[in-house]
C-alpha cells in the first residue's frame, strides 16, 4: 500500500514538472514530465491531457489528440 502512495506522489511530481515546462513553452521537457507521470500512474487523466497539449504546442498534431484522449482512435 505504501508503494502505491509513493508512486502517486512521484507521479504528481512528474506531472507538476510537465506543467511548469509547458507553461514555459519547453514542450519536449513537458512531454517528458507527463510521460514520467503516466509511467508511474497510467490512469492520471490530467497527465494525458497535459501531454496532448504539449504535443499541440510542438505542432505535432498527429500525436496531440491520441495522447490527450487515448480512448479515441
Mean pLDDT (the chain, rounded):
88
pLDDT on residue 1: 35
Q: What is the pTM of this model?
A: 0.84
Residues 6+ apart with CB under 8 A from 49: 68, 69
CB atoms within 10 A of CB 29: 15
Helix ranges, 1-73 (H): 2-23, 27-40, 45-57, 61-68
The reported pLDDT for the residue numbered 60 is 94
Summarised one tens digit per residue, pLDDT across range 14-30 is 999 999 999 999 999 99
Q: For residue 72, what pLDDT band results from cuts at 50, 70 and 90?
A: low
User: How many C-beta atoms lie closer than 10 Å to residue 12's C-beta?
Assistant: 16
Amino acid at each position: 500500500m505504501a508503494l502505491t502512495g509513493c508512486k502517486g506522489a512521484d507521479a504528481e511530481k512528474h506531472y507538476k514538472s510537465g506543467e511548469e515546462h509547458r507553461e514555459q513553452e519547453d514542450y519536449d521537457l513537458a512531454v517528458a514530465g507527463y510521460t514520467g507521470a503516466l509511467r508511474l500512474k497510467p490512469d492520471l487523466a490530467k497527465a494525458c491531457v497535459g501531454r496532448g497539449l504539449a504535443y499541440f504546442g510542438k505542432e505535432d498534431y498527429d500525436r496531440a489528440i491520441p495522447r490527450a484522449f487515448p480512448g479515441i482512435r
